[in-house]
Structure 1
Amino acid sequence: MIHTNRSIPVAQIKLVLWDLDGTLVNSELDLAHAINAMLRQFHRQELPVETIGTYIGDGAPMLVRRALGDPNDEGFVKEALEYFLLYYREHKLDNTYVYDGIIPALHAIGINGRKQAVLTNKPVRPSRDIVAGLGLSEFFAQVYGGNSFDTKKPDPLGAKALMHEFGCTPEETVMVGDSQIDSLTAHNAGMWSVGVTYGFAPEGFKHAPPDVLVDTPAELAQVLGG
């Protein structure tokens, strides 16, 4: 079902920014496997996939920190992060897949020369590898990650950089994502926002509602297509 808090003027939208994990692709299992491999390496108890899923969204350093229980030893956190990233780099496409309906939605939303880009808090290298490996590269003019800029979402720096890159104003730009991080990013950058409930953290939208909330990729196409 489509829930509208504020109507988006679709005809004036020239740029659509997409979150990656939980929005375009379901990467939860591969991220969980990499986290649990890291926990095993450091003789920590493994965590349920569902628990790890609640830690996703703020970038790899925060994901690792949360999985470790927020330790004070920064050297240990850094070592654990390096192990996680090394493991994940090799296993990022073991189980990750594009959500059903996303490719038709991308076709529908990207008509009439409208630009689309990925803005994720995941590190940029695996992000670009996932986009390429799952056949999504043709849809995106740019892919930026959590280490592409000095700050991560919900700071608006990355969104503003993409708007500048493509010559678009906030009124001509919309952010699509599965968590309040994305709706807050849109708010902080003055953009429009669409939230998806099929991702990892839809409960956060209660605290930071997007302009439009949808349950399926087909509804994304309905809201933003054309």
Structure 2
Amino acid sequence: MSYPYPLVVFDLDGTLVDSAADIAEALNRTLEDIGLARVPEATVLGWIGDGVRRLVEQAVQAAGRQIDLAAVMPTFMVHYRECLLRSPQLFDGVVEALAQLRALNVPLAICTNKPAALVPPLLQHLGIAEAFALVLGGDSLPQRKPSGEPLRHIAAHFELPVDACLMVGDSLTDYRAAEDAGMPIALVRYGYPRGLDLDNAHAVAVIDDLRELPGLAAVSAI
């Protein structure tokens, strides 16, 4: 059996890993440090996906404060590192799906907006680091999702046409990145799909469980 996509690129937070509680805790510790009130995890869910600076910026804006982000970000990064391995969990089906794709000799990559230095420790902690041939973080390139440049970069690394590969994500940020790159995308119904109309998205598939991935047929880019 051969797989129709010669490369599968995964988003991380919200697609492979449920890390919302840890990200929310890091953000809330930062808010407390600068004299702002904690916010519910459900609210933080709506801010995840565009990178850590944008995450903090949205929280500060929601509080109606004007704060020098450059001064706050080092504090946030301390808490982010401290909370990184606090309680992350792989979503159901992740281990099996990765194993099935690897058994089909499909190389796997990660394209995330999480700072690159924090990705390997998280993958190691969750026992899936060896599954990925390449990991691209939000600060690995000058551009990050929703730019399509990270996806184009990954496809070029494997010497593959971008429209032949598959992106797997959960958010509008992922969707826009795939659209910009011209890469087909499969979307998951769980995760943090802020602002994304899953029922009307132009996706290869919208799935409830990553174990559905190995059975996908090839579909043209969005």
Matched, 1:173 2:165: yes
Q: CA deviation at 1:187?
A: 1.5
Q: Distance in 1 between matches of 2:19 and 2:5?
A: 28
Asked which structure has the greater RCO (Cα within 8 Å, sep 6+), the reply is 1
Match of 2:204 in 1: 211
Q: Distance in 2 between matches of 1:146 and 1:23?
A: 16
Match of 2:187 in 1: 195
Matched, 1:18 2:18: no
Q: CA deviation at 1:97?
A: 1.1
Amino acid at match of 1:183: Y
Q: CA deviation at 1:113?
A: 2.1
Moved more, 62-71 or 124-133: 62-71
Question: Structure 1: which 4+ aligned runs deviate by more than 6 Å?
Answer: none
Contact conserved, 1:180 with 1:208, CA < 8 A, in 2? no
Match of 1:7 in 2: none
Residues paired across the two proteins, number: 215
| Percent of residue pairs identical | 31
Matched, 1:182 2:169: no
Structure 1 counterpart of 2:109, from 117, 126, 145: 117
Using structure 2 for the length normalisation, give the TM-score.
0.90
Instruction: List alignment gaps of at least 5 residues for structure 2.
Output: none
Structure 2 CA distance for partners of 1:224 and 1:23, relative to 1, 3 Å: farther
Contact conserved, 1:184 with 1:208, CA < 8 A, in 2? no
Structure 2 CA distance for partners of 1:108 and 1:83, relative to 1, 3 Å: same
Amino acid at match of 2:207: V
- Pairs within 5 Å for 1:140-179: 140-179=132-171
Amino acid at match of 2:57: R
Match of 1:131 in 2: 123
Q: CA deviation at 1:64?
A: 0.5
- Partner of 2:109, secondary structure, is strand
- Partner of 1:151, secondary structure, is coil
Cα deviation 1:31-68 (Å, max 9, x = unaligned):
00000000100110110000001100000000000111
Cα deviation 1:104-123 (Å, max 9, x = unaligned):
01111223321100000111
Q: CA deviation at 1:218?
A: 2.4
- Partner of 2:187, secondary structure, is strand
- Pairs within 5 Å for 1:54-73: 54-69=46-61, 73=66
Using structure 1 for the length normalisation, give the TM-score.
0.88
- Partner of 1:69, secondary structure, is helix
